[in-house]
Amino acid sequence: MWKLLHKLKDAVIYDADREFYAKVFPDSVDSKDLMRMRKMDHADLTSVLKIEELNYEFPWSEGIFKDCFRTMTYTSWVCEAPDDNIVGYCIINVAAGEAHIMNISVNPTFQRQGTGRKMLEHLIEYARPRAEKIFLEVRPSNPGAINLYRKTGFREIGTRKNYYPAKNGREDAIMFELDLVPML
């Protein structure tokens, strides 16, 4: 039922010109502009778990994703390619005037093509009217993500020692913050 509702919504806000120009003039439209964000539902878990396992040595379990659905302050999204394939997902927690990005993951086939940036920008815009700041953690061994966060305006605010599981024990996390309220 949810898939049908998402398809109806997409039909109503469908940008036919963008799709047309992408087919006729392939270089005229950035591939990330053809991707769509929508809220994740239980039917998406098979695709989401595949991406999770492709990207992480210690992936989240199906139970963790289901807990995200049950927690009222968490909102989960998927990013779909024009062919309706899920190419990434992201999860944010918003409570008490703060937002925390819990997970952003892109299918390796679609990495370095703007999908991660599209999801990050989507989360920032989602959080902006709901929070004053947005936080996230990232592995120091993930320079691509660190670069994306810095380019998007996040600033490093500290380190969480032994935050992530790793092959040989634990890995620290770099903490980042972005102010969502414009400075006067």
User: Does the annotation count 137 as an active-site position?
Assistant: yes
From the list 62, 98, 121, 137, the catalytic residue is: 137
**159, 88, 134, 75 alpha-carbon torsion, rounded to 10°:** -120
Beta bridge partners of 137: 175
Q: How far apart are CA 91 and CA 120, in angstroms?
A: 10
Residue among 65, 69, 70, 71 nearest 49 (CA):
65
User: Does the annotation count 14 as an active-site position?
Assistant: no
Q: How far is CA 137 from the centre of its chain?
A: 13
The DSSP symbol for 152 reads T
Q: What are phi and psi of 95, to 5 degrees?
A: -160, 145
Helix axes 143-151, 115-127, angle to 10 degrees: 50
Q: How far apart are CA 111 and CA 125, in angstroms?
A: 21
Q: How far apart are CA 5 and CA 11, in angstroms?
A: 10
Q: Which residues are catalytic?
A: 137, 149
